[in-house]
Structure 1
Amino acid sequence: MKEYVLLSFLALCSAKSFPMKSKYMATNDIMLKDMEDDDDDDDNNALFPIKRESPTPPPFQMFPVCPFGCQCSLRVVQCSDLGLTSIPSNIPLDTRLIDLQNNKIKEIKENDLKGLSSLYALFLNNNKLSKIHPKAFQSLKKLRRLYLSHNQLIEIPSNLPKSLAELRIHDNKVKKVQKDAFKGMMSLHVLEMSANPLHNDGIEPGAFEGMVVYHVRIAEAKLTSIPKGLPSSLYELHLDHNKITGVELEDLIRYKDLQRLGLGNNKIKEIENGSFASIPSIREIHLENNKLKKVPPGLPELKYLQVIFLHSNHVSKVGVNDFCSTGSRQKKSLYRGISLFGNPVKYWEVQPATFRCVLGRTSVHFGNFRK
């Protein structure tokens, strides 16, 4: 009896396993059949059709192509810190961001970025770039952010994408900004050109014509005066750590919408009376670490001015009306920051009414003068 039950159980197991194996084999047969070329089917409806005249069938790519050593995800190609000497050649055409920072790339050739019409951001910081082909960016119709800082470029690349919103070319060897270098760039928010050996005469007349930009920074350069002909659209202008010796009446006359002005760490001795009248919307002025002997004239007329940095100058006297207007004229915004420390002014001689238009006593940074 036991032998009969055992034989029956084995027969039952064999009967169940056979259909499962047949089903698996049948599925494989269907996949293989779909990948083969069907001579009898004129419509060629196979899932992976292969033409018979092809010498070898094309490879089946389960995953998108990614340059060797890089990481690709969600249309982002990350190739930083790989020691690359050139831009990879097989970047997916639908890429939106390419990170090539911290490599050894010396040149961008004409076709290195060809076909990348969806590219939004290109990071090339900290390479050895000294040459960019004039047509290198011609395919990048949607590029918004281009970072070229910490390279060896000697001039602004030509034919930059008109779509750019942010261009950073900090710490290169730029000595010249050629005429029409930014022509047609009507939506540039940030232009960062600091830490370049750029003199005033290196900026050709018309270099900034035909463009709109809101934030310009040319710090740590070799400027001896505020550059002429910057775009009138400016909201922020930062020229810190230069060799500017003074501010003249015409220097700021174009920038009626200017809200932040950075002139700290220069050699400014004098600011011509009326210079600030051209910038009535100014909110913040940096004049620290200069050689001013008095508080600049015209501050009380700036109704929206909230921050003025004058520390580390040679100011020896502060008048009662140097910061606040008199009579019926009222400031729209109270000061929230006035710095006067590091000046030879006797703070105990300053009248309390001098800071009558300040938000609070903590907004004034005075301190003792120490040699």
Structure 2
Amino acid sequence: MEDVIVEYVDKENKECRYEVDDVTISALDLSRRGIATIRLESLKGLDNLRDLQLENNAISDVDLSPLARLPNLMNLSLFKNSLTSIELKHLANVVNLKELHLGSNNLAEIDLGPLSKCKYLTRLRLLGNRLTHLDLSPLASCKALASLEIENNQFRVLDISGLAGCTGLQQLNLMYNSLSHLNLSPLASCTNMKFLYLHHNELESVDLKPLENCLDIRILRLGGNRIRIIDLGSLAACTQLRRLDLAMNEISLLDLSPLAKAKKLTALDIAGNQLSAIDLTPLSKCKEIAELYLYSDHPQENNFKEINITPLFKCKQLEDVSIAKDTVIHAKANLEDSEEIPAALEELIHDRRIKWI
């Protein structure tokens, strides 16, 4: 069988040829070759190709139609190129497509409609573009979708109702956008959700009730928003929760009681809010917690005049706890000579920060 010659033009406008001497290959990596344009029809004959990497090039326009003739293609990456637009209609014929990576381009809009035909799509990455609007409804047909990454864009509003059909969704990343409101109701159907990243937006409130059905959620990040009031009650059902980030918001009251059931919680960050009091009692049930941030010297910070850390003596894995230097720390006197004191509290004892009562 004849070799396949891949033809492209580099960013210096030089005609280039890349020889594929084994036409049975399953992966082709053409990353970092300075490609400006590429004739994908020259891939004809690579019938076993599953993975096509075109990352870190200078591609500003690409015709994807030849990919429909690659029957086994599963992964396509155009990460870190110069795309300002892309037509996905021909991907409707790439029936085995599992992963599509279009992150770090200059896309201001994109029509996901053709992806409704990609029944095996498991991962879609559109991070780091200039998207302000995105119709997610075509993804309702992508029952296998496990990860949707659309962080670092310019969304102010986003309707995620199309995700209600993505019952296998495990990760949704919307961090570093400008969202002021987000209705999480569609996620009630995403019972396999594990990672939800909503930090660094402009959310003023968020209703966590839909997460009652997400029993396996591991990481929930809501830091860097404008949240004033948040009810953690729905998280009582999320017993697999590992990390909860509420830092850098405007929260003035917070009830941690629902976290008593988060037996596997390892990290909690509530620094950078407007809290003046906090009851840490529920955390005594969180035996695996290792990191607790109550203060981190943010421009706006909590103002705890005093705080009782007695419950934390039951958190034997606690390695790091941050409390402002001017906060008076209390703990029961009978704990001072405990046989096994968490490392983070040993440090507070060493620094004579604790006032025994």
Distance 1:292 1:156, change over 3 A: farther
1:311 and 2:271 are equivalent in the alignment: yes
Shift of 1:211: 4.6
Partner residue of 1:167 out of 120, 124, 142? 124
Distance 1:117 1:192, change over 3 A: same
- Separation of aligned partners in 1, 2:95 and 2:132: 28
Shift of 1:108: 4.2
Q: Deviations over 1:255-309 (max 9, x none)?
A: 2332210111111111126242343332211112222224443322433322111
Aligned match of 1:194: 151
Partner residue of 1:237 out of 196, 218, 229? 196
- Separation of aligned partners in 1, 2:88 and 2:17: 29
Q: Deviations over 1:219-249 (max 9, x none)?
A: 1112123433133331111011101112335
Aligned match of 2:66: 112
Distance 1:293 1:369, change over 3 A: farther
Gaps in structure 2 of 5+ consecutive residues: 8-15, 328-357
Distance 1:245 1:357, change over 3 A: farther
Q: Deviations over 1:182-227 (max 9, x none)?
A: 1232322321110122233x32643542552101101111212343
1:65 and 2:5 are equivalent in the alignment: yes
1:290 and 2:244 are equivalent in the alignment: no
Aligned match of 2:351: none
- Higher fraction of helix: 2
Aligned match of 1:155: 110
Partner residue of 1:223 out of 169, 179, 187? 179
User: Match for 1:157: what amino acid?
Assistant: L
Quick one: percent identity of the two aligned structures?
Answer: 20
- Separation of aligned partners in 2, 1:346 and 1:179: 43
Match runs of 1:265-276 below 5 Å = 265-272=224-231, 274-276=233-235
* 3-state SS of paired residue (1:252): helix
Bigger shift: 129-138 or 261-270? 129-138
Mapped contact 1:177–1:204 kept (Cα < 8 A): no
Distance 1:77 1:268, change over 3 A: same
Q: How many residues align?
A: 302
Aligned match of 2:207: 248
1:129 and 2:83 are equivalent in the alignment: yes
Partner residue of 1:77 out of 11, 15, 28? 28
- Separation of aligned partners in 1, 2:29 and 2:307: 58
Q: CA RMSD in A?
A: 2.9
Gaps in structure 1 of 5+ consecutive residues: 1-59, 325-329
* 3-state SS of paired residue (1:271): coil
Aligned match of 1:358: 315
Distance 1:110 1:351, change over 3 A: closer
Mapped contact 1:170–1:195 kept (Cα < 8 A): yes
Distance 1:164 1:249, change over 3 A: closer
- Higher fraction of strand: 2
Shift of 1:110: 5.5
- Separation of aligned partners in 1, 2:74 and 2:302: 52
Aligned match of 1:29: none
Mapped contact 2:167–2:191 kept (Cα < 8 A): no
Mapped contact 2:291–2:318 kept (Cα < 8 A): no
* 3-state SS of paired residue (2:37): coil
